[in-house]
Structure 1
Amino acid sequence: MHAQEALPSPSVEDGQQAKTSVEVVSKVLLKSNTFLRNVGIQQPAAKTTNVVKELQAELDVKKLESIGLQQELERLKAQTQESEAKVDKQAEEIKSLRKMAADT
């Protein structure tokens, strides 16, 4: 004899709708898919779960790559600013030296 799951039918409070039979059956089938296996219907939950896990792993890798690229971009920006500051300083020194050479 198979154990059947019984869902209590709570009284419907004001403002709430009673569950339809489809909602009740769906809830039971989500908890136990013995009926679906008995009638030959496969639940794609395992496949779907594996696909979701694979996609999540890919997403995690992409996020890590993105973080790495963002850090590299920030490092290159800082390096560029340093280089530009050095160029500006050298330009000022050259200008100062030219002025001193012109005065002598």
Structure 2
Amino acid sequence: MVIRAEVLTVRTVADQPASGVLRVAVAGVLDEATAPDLRAALDDAVAAGNPAVLEVDVAGVTYCSLAGLRVFGEVQHRFGGTLQLLGMGQAIRRLLDLQQRLAPAGTSRR
């Protein structure tokens, strides 16, 4: 599966049904405009493969807003399996840290 929005590419790079792992690579800009495309692509990938682990390689993401980052939490919640972000750069790590700091006391957004 390959989905191309104007500035976002999502493609399945490894599907290992025997081990229950599905890896998807995301590249480009991940923001409010492209987040719906990512959400749909990840939901479709999970529905088609029913993996136990969804690995999302974000090494190719050149920009990520909180709206883009929120997609991973939403997909994780609906998916119910393990979602792993691979290849995170400093920008995404900073957003994750910021999101954690902004979480109300006693809650976790991981």
TM-score by length of 2: 0.23
Q: Per residue, is there more helix in 1 or in 2? A: 1
Larger Rg: 1
Q: Per residue, is there more strand in 1 or in 2? A: 2
Bigger relative contact order, structure 1 or 2 (CA pairs below 8 A, ≥6 apart): 2
